[in-house]
Structure 1
Amino acid sequence: MKRKFDYYRTLCNSAFVVATILDLRLKFKFLELSYTEIYSHDSKMHLNKFHKVFTNVYYEYANEARNLFKSASDLDDSNSSKIEIANDCILDSFRKFASARNFNE
């Protein structure tokens, strides 16, 4: 019985570890903790600098991805471009939702 319990407990722990790694909110919290330990009083300044860099990299990546989808839809028929427009609407809705929520807490 204990062997079975330990087996399933390790599976559950692995799932939580994977979720933690993939959850950017937790990664940023870890970064806040680390920067506070390393820089103490200057941690806010360094976190803001990192946040700007990360945001710029994200938007650059998002624009490249959007351009790839746009060029691919030019090759496809008009139905696929309608799907892309719908996907953009969904992404815009999610961005509004995410900006309305405070994910940094």
Structure 2
Amino acid sequence: MSAVERQRKETRPMKQLMTAAQAALRDKAKEREMLERKKQSMLAKKAAMEKMVANFMLFIEAIEKNDTETAQKFNEKEMKNTILSMIIGGGGHNGGFAADDGGNGA
């Protein structure tokens, strides 16, 4: 066996290992991207919920203070739509409100 053949035989397992490691690294990178998108989606939902709660608290405070001008600015229809969209959720998610599997109950 020549020196070149021996060297090829020795480096073949290293090349296979390197190829496998590169594939695993690509898979991890894809998983990280997916998790990052999921995190951004969750943060956006949380921000929307916090905004809704803050607006509702302003409405409650206005009622407690008999501030009819501020209370009248509250948009009940928008609040109902926001709550409904959080309950129904998008992409098969139930928004964390229901204890079911995210189905629509039909």
The answer to whether the superposition gives a TM-score over 0.5 is no
Which structure has more helix as a fraction of its residues? 1
Larger radius of gyration: 2
TM-score tier, shorter chain, comes to 0.3 to 0.5
More RCO (CA 8 Å, sep 6+) = 1
